[in-house]
Amino acid sequence: MTRKLIADWVEEELQRILQDLGVIYISSAELERVLPDVYDDLLEKLEAWAADPSNTASDEDVEAFKAGEYQVEILFGDKVSYTAGRDRQEIANQPAWGYDVWGDFLEAATKDWLLKLIK
């Protein structure tokens, strides 16, 4: 019981700190290291868009994402949202690519990376 209360408190405190931070930008290469499932989800979306001839995404975009050349915005609000693009302007001109609820985000993120973020 006590362990569960402490874990809940730590998650609530981490969520509050990250919400105060608001937003971070990382490379797609760093995303692959710290949130591999999110990386896979975003890559899958980009590949689907590149395969759709009515979309402007291309195979070159997919390769740039894989090479770590894309930026990923992680927005900390009521939930955690992810948007990727070649630069911040491209990110600003599109909707989020995906979302996580806080519990899923905190469970998936590497603890070392979270500690670096809140320092």
> Tens digits of per-residue pLDDT, 11-34?
788 899 999 999 999 999 999 999
- Is residue 96's pLDDT more than 90? yes
Residues 36-58 have a mean pLDDT of: 95
Residue 18: burial class (beta carbons within 10 Å; 0-12, 13-18, 19+)? buried
The residues, ordered by sequence, that sit 6+ positions from 108 with a Cβ below 8 Å of its Cβ are: 35, 37, 38, 100
Cα-based angle 70, 22, 65 (whole degrees, multiple of 5): 10
- Is residue 6's pLDDT more than 60? no
Token pair of 84, please?
Answer: 């990727």
Q: 5 or 60: which carries more pLDDT confidence?
A: 60
- Is residue 10's pLDDT more than 60? yes
Q: Please report the pLDDT score of residue 63 as a whole number.
A: 98
- Residues making up the chain, counted from first to last: 119
26 secondary structure, DSSP code: E
Segment among 44-58, 82-96, 103-117 with least mean pLDDT: 103-117
| Average pLDDT value over all residues in the chain | 90
In sequence order, the β-bridge partners of residue 84 are: 72
- Is residue 1's pLDDT more than 60? no
Q: Coil, strand, or helix at residue 42?
A: helix
- Is residue 8's pLDDT more than 70? no
The residues, ordered by sequence, that sit 6+ positions from 56 with a Cβ below 8 Å of its Cβ are: none
Helices (H), the chain: 2-21, 28-34, 36-51, 59-66, 88-92, 102-108, 111-118
